[in-house]
Structure 1
């Protein structure tokens, strides 16, 4: 503290520290059988994006060259991985948004009681409910249940890639239904809205020089299989989950190991200690891709409509 000129009690942005440690804890968590793993490790890492997803989600990718991307934080030199430029996008409300959607629904208290009695989570109950609904309604796949329900997840503004703090959340397709099944549909549509936001960030980064084709995820939301599968299907790329369940702690331990000279470099420590767990691959059904492409267009139109409405109201108040 004295060496850095800091006083006791000074506020510290722990979410960024957690995100960067999480990135260090997962960026080399790729299967050895992956063809990518045969490439030069230094360059292969630039095709990956780390999602540290909890209350909010940080989207972190690195490059050798300096890339200025509108609406996305960075580039930051050696901010996460030494000698790489860091691009950091993000969504300000992801886990917090799912909690908000669930907790403010009329069916939530009964669902919470049932989850407690069964010693499981509300998320597990909702995921199982959606599978049952798919079978009963003869839906071709779970995601298709939300064909009439769309969510723009900007309930706390848009951090990336639009960088619009005035953006608001939108739910399209509400009815008078207050059942648990209606909550399940709203929950699924919200997950999809968040995943479309990630797709928007990745497409925007790739349009400005990145070549991201793989996601690596850690944090509380990464433990939800529906959340991860929807991201894989919507992105059309694999999502790799690390073997280590607490990647932020692992990332901090890696930095400590390098500081203690147990490893000569951060990258060598990452290659030794990052280990892939499950690899979640996107559906190969072309109908799934067609469906999500259509919903993604609706997702984009919801924001465009919001801008038009905002302009109309501003003119009315002139």
Structure 2
């Protein structure tokens, strides 16, 4: 959210705050550089700046209450008094200066943009061939952190999930946004602290792979010789090392690793890696379950991001959250989503929903393995119990003088 940053700037660097001509999200800064226009995207100002898109206004009272009344007094001109949805053409088009720099024609259509994760959602969840309606698909952007995005015809107020935001992704639909503060980063954090990590990293480098990529390959090989239950053993991971963004919105939650013995060999590292990946899937399941309790009906997870390219990771996600996991045919869905906005702005397609349906395609779909269902139900209960144990331990610490 950008309003706390604005407030900090106003309080700590008042001369800088007073002297700034405009405050922009990166998306809007790029469109300003391309066009010279001060239009803002509904996506950025609604999701990050508290703009009320469903009422087409800023909340004057809110800004005054938190100490940013100066922005309200100015008519919010410095944070955006002209707002337009993603895919809308910026009236000015490409400026002459930008056209010279880019080798393009002045006046070339420039679209209102999107936040990067939201562009990835646009490039994935509407693909023809993905099971279910648009509202039944959950975009999962899986990288260092993870972000979930889903849309609905009516607003849904979901504990621990940001939003709902009107027209922030698809015009006319409400967006809900969850996430995990550490996903790929949590996996890296766990495996790099194992005693065998340095030796494994050397083997990975010799093979031309990343450490996690090498561990993935070795896990696949081991799973050809033993069942998943044996590989995982009694090791459990809760990856809330940077707190829990959704569904608990608890910055003080912390990660937990349980069930370790004193083994320091390669197999024990692979066991820890597999448990860490699966813990991300259990965190995703918690978000899915919370969405369902509020009326959402996600039937398919559509994954993007670096980690989602792994077949084993997708299988672990599908098994852990209990839903099919699909990929986008495009290797770069974020760029594809941005291109969709350009196609709409240029008039090549009539609207974003048409662009989503016709310009993206389905990749692979991974189904949950029925034989693993009992194992994951048991391990998910352990995952939840460890989170509860963490809360109890924290409460004990807080009681100490």
Match of 2:303 among 195, 201, 217: 217
Q: What is the TM-score when the length of structure 1 is the normalising length?
A: 0.88
Q: Does structure 1 conserve the Cα–Cα contact (< 8 Å) formed by 2:127 and 2:358?
A: no
Q: Which residue of structure 2 aligns with residue 29 of structure 1?
A: 127
Q: Deviations over 1:275-305 (max 9, x none)?
A: 00111111132xx111100111111111111
Correspondence for 2:344 among 249, 258, 266? 258
Aligned match for 2:161, one of 72, 77, 102: 72
Of 142-151 and 191-200, more deviation after overlay is shown by 142-151
Determine helix, strand or coil for the equivalent of 1:159: coil
User: SS state of the match for residue 61, structure 1?
Assistant: strand
From 198, 210, 232, give the equivalent of 1:109. 198
Structure 1 residue 189 and structure 2 residue 275: aligned?
yes
User: Residue in 2 aligned with 1:269?
Assistant: 355
Supply the distance in 1 between the matched residues of 2:233 and 2:78 (Cα, whole angstroms).
Answer: 53
Q: CA deviation at 1:114?
A: 1.5
Which residue of 1 is the match for residue 138 of structure 2? 49
Deviation at residue 30 of structure 1 after TM alignment: 4.3
C-alpha separation in 2, matches of 1:57 and 1:124: 18
Change (3 A) 1:260 1:135: closer
What is the DSSP-based 3-state SS (H/G/I as helix, E as strand, rest coil) of the residue aligned with 2:179? strand
Cα contact 1:95–1:221 (8 A) shared by 2: yes
Q: 1:303 aligns with which of 371, 377, 387?
A: 387
Structure 2: any 5+ residue segments left out of the alignment? 1-31, 40-76, 80-113
The offset of 1:109, in angstroms, is 2.3
Measure the CA separation in 2 of the matches of 1:151 and 1:246.
30
The CA distance in 1 between the partners of 2:171 and 2:180, in whole Å, is 25
Deviation (angstroms), 1:3: 2.1
Q: 2:397, 2:191 → 1: CA distance?
A: 31
CA displacement, residues 107-162 of structure 1 (integer Å, 9 cap, x when unaligned): 222222222222233334212322443455xx3x3355213000111000000001
**Structure 2 matches for 1:218-237, cutoff 5 A?**
218-237=304-323
- Structure 2 residue matching 1:216: 3-state secondary structure: strand
Deviation of 1:229 (Å): 0.3
- Structure with max Cα Rg: 2
Q: Residues 130 and 142 of structure 1 are in contact (CA less than 8 Å); yes or no, is this contact kept in structure 2?
A: no
**Partner SS for 1:49:** strand
Determine helix, strand or coil for the equivalent of 2:198. Answer: helix
Contact 1:51 1:216 (C-alpha < 8 Å) held by counterparts? yes
Once the two structures are TM-superposed, the CA of residue 76 in structure 1 deviates from its matched residue by 0.3
* Residue 373 (structure 2) aligned to one of 283, 289, 313: 289
**8 Å Cα contact 1:216/1:240 also seen in 2:** yes
* Count of aligned positions: 295
Unaligned runs of 5+ in 1: 8-15, 37-43
The residue number in structure 2 matching 1:178 is 264
- Aligned Cα root-mean-square deviation (Å): 1.8
Shift of 1:237: 1.8
Cα contact 1:229–1:280 (8 A) shared by 2: yes
Distance in 1 (alpha carbons) for counterparts of 2:203 and 2:397: 44
Which stretch shows the higher mean deviation, 192-201 or 221-230?
221-230
2:145 is equivalent to residue 63 of structure 1:
no
Partners of 1:154 and 1:169 within 8 A in 2: yes
Query: Residues 296 and 163 of structure 1: is their aligned pair in 2 closer, same or farther, counting only changes over 3 Å?
Result: same
